[in-house]
A and B are shown apart, each in its own frame.
Chain A
Amino acid sequence: MKNLFYYFIQALSEFRKRPLSHFFTLGSITLALTLAGGVTLLAHVMKTASEKWGSGAMVAVYMSDSTTTAGVESIREKLREFDGVRKTRVITRELSRKRLIQSLEGDASLIKSVENEFFPVSIEVVIQGDIETVGSTVEKIRKTKGIVPGIIDVRDVHTWNRKIGGVLDIAYLIGLLLLLLVLITSGYVIMVTTRLSVENRSGEMKIIQLLGASGTFVGAPVVIEGIILGLAGSLISTGLLALGGYMGMDALSRIIGESIMLVSIEDYFSLQYLMWVCLLGAVTGMISGKLALSSVRT
């Protein structure tokens, strides 16, 4: 235990003595963890999307121009009574216009002069539940067109949502297989780079052994070095992944629209996640250090 400080100092001093080999080891650990984390994040996004998109739908019910505010509220109340309806929201003319301007971006100037009155009032209905309930409710809402006074059109995204949900289930499974492959490959790369680092000082280790040092005295700095590299790699990879993840999700939501995105990665990057990644990095570094030692030790 008294030697722990010495092992730690030795491990740190190795970074100064051999910066290049440590840079490569750190790089491979970071790359491996980023790849593994990327695949896991992708799998998480796919799983969430498949759950949300596969078991839910959103329907837009358009009102006729003559429908009063009280009429809209009355229709909204009726829509709420259908099975599986979780949320309803009235999209006013102003909001419709604002959304269109936002979606047109550069071309928004074309409709800036168009008044609010030209945009329809609609009610967005979010339905959740099993596929049968969702399907049946969407069908019932669709049939209100022309029957319930004030409703002139019903549009839903249910059909393609369900198909995408099925595809995402398969993609999630592929993602998990890919993760396994990445972990095995990364583990091997880390072992090889750590081994190179240990081989660089096999002469030094041999001398220490000849002075009567125990296996722990010789190997502990290498294992501690592996743990430090693993932890550093974990933190860097988490940072890169969070940055890439948020940028990717932002880009995706711009493409497919925030209202149907329904997937967020904010809950993914929790303190618990960071702790798990650090643990994985430290264990990976420790195991690769031990493996490298056993393959180089004389």
Chain B
Amino acid sequence: MIVLENIHKKFSEKTVLFERVSLTINPKTINIVTGLSGSGKTTLLKLIRGEIIPDAGTVKIAGKDVSRLRSASKKRLFRSVSMVYQEGKLIDERTVIENIALPLRINGIHGAKLRERVYELLEKFDLEEKAFVSCGVLSGGERRYVSIARAIAFSPSVLLLDEPLNGLDSKSRGKLTDFLCNINETEDLTVLWATHDLSELSKYPDPYIYEIKDKKVKLSRNEIDTTDCWL
């Protein structure tokens, strides 16, 4: 269970993003975070991941305050809460296969087990032919696939998606939407999907939508189901 309590975050006196924001993220489902550009969608995701520390309030994952975690615990959090960044954050000099294998290596997976998982993901995203190509020469859509494949490689508990369809052509958008709308079931994940375009989620029935507006976050769907709080 991800719980935000009384979060306050500002980057300067004029740019206050959140004021006393409290919310609970529904587990094992797709949660949409929406709002205008600059409203704080990415900041919210980074607050949840512990990449940004709130000025006040707490972000708790499985009962632990992420802003108070020590370095080693934070590394473990980064491994279980994956994020697909808008800019991809791929290592351009390394190949597709190397990028996807990174989280597995970090978690001590080697040899046949590593190869098996990497090839499973390559197949899932139709990237087999690009396996040994440097990420720097991939198209926007391919980069997004690699980014998502890397994010789910070590089977995280939570997947944070920051505008995953941004800048993609309609064909790639359709393919990726189909994949992402089922990802929480196939990979057993809690997904937070930040987007400013709700039409992206038209294929997903009745999602939880958190709207960031006027420094607050409002849930605009039915009440949160907390019967299966496994986190």
Contacts and interface: CB of A to CB of B under 8 A. Distances in A.
A204 interface: yes
Contacts of A215: 71
Interface stretch (A58-66, A145-153, A206-214): A206-214
A213 B93 contact: no
A204 B78 contact: no
A212 B108 contact: no
Nearest to B80: A212
Interface stretch (B5-13, B98-106, B223-231): B98-106
A276 interface: no
Contact of B102 (A2, A17, A208, A214): A208
Interface string A233-248: 0000000000000000
Interface string A83-101: 0000000000000000000
Interface in A151-172: none
B93 A2 contact: no
A210 B89 contact: yes
B16 interface: no
A2 B89 CA distance: 26
Contacts of B150: 211
A215 B107 CA distance: 13
A3 interface: yes
Given A2-B108, A2-B110, A211 B103 contact: yes
A3 B105 contact: yes
Interface residues of A, number: 15
Contacts of B213: none
A217 interface: yes
A6 interface: yes
Contacts of A3: 105, 108, 110
Interface size class, chain B: 20 to 34
B109 to A, nearest CB: 9
A212 B79 CA distance: 5
A17 B93 contact: yes
A212 B91 contact: no
A17 B134 CA distance: 12
Contacts of B126: none
Contacts of A2: 108, 110
B118 to A, nearest CB: 14
Interface string A183-213: 0000000000000000000001001111111
Interface in B66-94: 71-72, 75-79, 83, 89-91, 93
Return the 9 tightest CB-CB contacts between A and B, nearest first.
A212-B78, A212-B79, A213-B106, A212-B75, A204-B91, A207-B89, A211-B103, A2-B110, A17-B93
Interface of B: 51, 71-72, 75-79, 83, 89-91, 93, 102-103, 105-108, 110, 150
26 contacts: A2-B110, A3-B105, A3-B108, A204-B93, A207-B90, A207-B91, A208-B106, A209-B78, A210-B51, A210-B78, A210-B89, A211-B78, A211-B79, A211-B102, A211-B103, A212-B76, A212-B77, A212-B78, A212-B103, A212-B106, A213-B75, A214-B72, A214-B75, A214-B106, A217-B105, A217-B106
